[in-house]
């Protein structure tokens, strides 16, 4: 598993600019610089990327992101063209936005679709918003993990390619500012979460094979 600093690399330039602006504002504006410091502290919490140790259960599929469960349903997987169990995690701006692999396996495919930026909490975000999907082939079955941009999120980052090997909990991408991740599992998988439940990326068990 790749080593990742506690602050996501995607945020380094943003944080540098935010804290530099806050310091300059303090020099010139004194107490009126408070909004600059609020923004800098918000950016710091947004780009945090704590180290997580995933469960060791061989039959566990883990959460790919921090957030709240907004969908647990049987649907058609639009990428692998199969009936599937779909579990969706909605991330608000206060959640960790680093995305983790839900299973051990090989990346067998990747699809990018441009789209809209409606609220990622809505069901239609899965089919209308900008999104990036990867197909992970594991020993237990195939998993599709889909990063979806949201109302505020405007950039999806994915660092894996076809042929790459992933382990559960491995960091594979990042979405900036409020978004969603959909997981499509074989229809035989058993959900371990329910709508409205809060989950922790790389730690909470979403389902079991």
pLDDT for residue 12: 78
Which residue, among 115, 110, 109, 154, has the nearest Cα to 131 in the 3D structure?
A: 115
**C-alpha–C-alpha distance, residues 182 and 176, integer Å:** 16
Which residue, among 185, 186, 191, 187, has the nearest Cα to 204 in the 3D structure?
A: 191
Phi, psi of 126 (to 5 degrees): -65, -30
Q: Which CATH architecture has domain 60-208?
A: Distorted Sandwich (2.70)
Q: Any idea where the domains of the chain sit in the sequence?
A: 9-46, 60-208
In sequence order, what DSSP letters do the residues of 153-206 get, joined into one string? --EEEE---TT-EE-TT-EEEEEESSEEEEEEEETT-EE---TT-EE-TTTSEE
Q: Give, to the nearest 10 degrees, the angle between helix 12-29 and helix 34-46.
A: 160
- For the question of residue 179 being annotated catalytic, the response is yes
Q: Are 118 and 70 in contact (CB under 8 A)?
A: no
Radius of gyration (C-alpha) of the chain in whole angstroms: 18
Catalytic residue among 98, 126, 179, 194: 179
Per-residue pLDDT for the chain (209 aa), expressed as one digit of tens each?
445 567 777 767 877 888 899 899 898 888 888 988 888 887 777 777 888 888 888 899 999 999 999 999 999 999 999 999 999 999 887 888 789 999 999 999 999 988 666 555 667 767 777 889 999 999 999 999 999 886 655 578 888 999 999 999 999 988 876 688 999 999 999 999 999 999 999 899 999 98
Residues β-bridged to residue 183? 87, 145
Paired tokens of 26: 């303090």
């Amino acid at each position: 598993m790749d080593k990742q600093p506690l602050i996501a690399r995607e945020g380094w330039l943003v944080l540098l600019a935010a804290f530099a602006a806050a310091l300059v504002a303090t020099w010139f504006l004194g107490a009126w610089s408070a909004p600059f410091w609020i923004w800098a502290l918000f950016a710091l919490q947004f780009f945090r990327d704590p180290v997580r140790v995933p469960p060791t259960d061989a039959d566990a599929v883990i959460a790919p992101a921090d957030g709240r469960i907004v969908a647990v349903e049987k649907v058609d997987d639009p990428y692998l063209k199969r009936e599937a169990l779909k579990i969706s995690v909605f991330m608000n701006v206060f959640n960790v936005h680093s995305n983790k692999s839900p299973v051990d396996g090989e990346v067998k495919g990747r699809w990018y679709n441009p789209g809209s930026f409606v609220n990622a909490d809505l069901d239609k975000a899965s089919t209308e918003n900008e999104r990036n999907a990867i197909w992970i082939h594991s020993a237990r079955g195939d998993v599709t993990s889909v990063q979806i941009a949201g109302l505020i999120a405007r950039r999806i980052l994915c660092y894996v390619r076809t042929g790459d090997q992933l382990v559960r909990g491995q960091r594979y991408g990042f979405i900036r500012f409020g978004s969603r991740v959909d997981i499509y599992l074989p229809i035989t998988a058993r959900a371990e979460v329910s709508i409205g439940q809060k989950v922790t990326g790389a730690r909470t068990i979403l389902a079991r094979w």
